[in-house]
Amino acid sequence: MTNEFLPLIGLAATFAAGLMLAVWVVAWRINNLGIVDIAWSIGFLPIVLGFALLGHGDSCRRWLMVAMAGAWSIRLALHLGVRVLGHHPQEDVRYVRLRADWGAAARQKSLGFFGFQALILAGLSAVFLV
């Protein structure tokens, strides 16, 4: 990967971190950490759109990438949204288990978990720059 990609990856990481921080705040307000799944999946769309707008290469390929990645991102977010919000206020068993395992440190550890989700989002998004 050349140096021209680094600023775009930096923007993706900054966006992902801000997104996950905002979602973490909302998750604690509504008492449902499961919304991270929805945010993570839809987070690809604005990142890929940013890559298409700011990146280099064939315009047709960039917008085809937005269409394909965007369709996948939206489809997955809708699927997860129906599942997560359909059970709300009951939280997914995975997150109930994490809260129990984390105990009194759940708020801090969940922030780290959401931060890790941001890192994964930005890292996986880098493939769309290739």
**Could you tell me the pTM of the whole model?**
0.92
The per-residue pLDDT of the chain, averaged, comes to 95
Over residues 79-101, mean pLDDT? 94
pLDDT beyond 70 at 117 = yes
pLDDT beyond 60 at 113 = yes
pLDDT beyond 90 at 129 = no
What confidence tens digit (pLDDT) does each residue in 3-52 have?
A: 788 999 999 999 999 999 999 999 999 999 999 999 999 999 999 999 99
Q: Residue 2's pLDDT is what?
A: 59
Q: Residue 52's pLDDT is what?
A: 95
Domain ranges within the chain, ordered by starting residue = 6-129
Q: Residue 130's pLDDT is what?
A: 79
Which residue, chain included where needed, has tokens 């047709």? Answer: 60
Alpha-carbon span 19 to 36, nearest angstrom: 10
DSSP 103: G
Amino acid identity of residue 120, one-letter, is I
Contact between 16 and 111 under an 8 Å Cβ cutoff? The reply is no
Alpha-carbon span 96 to 114, nearest angstrom: 15
How many percent of the chain have pLDDT more than 70?
98
Q: Residue 71's pLDDT is what?
A: 97
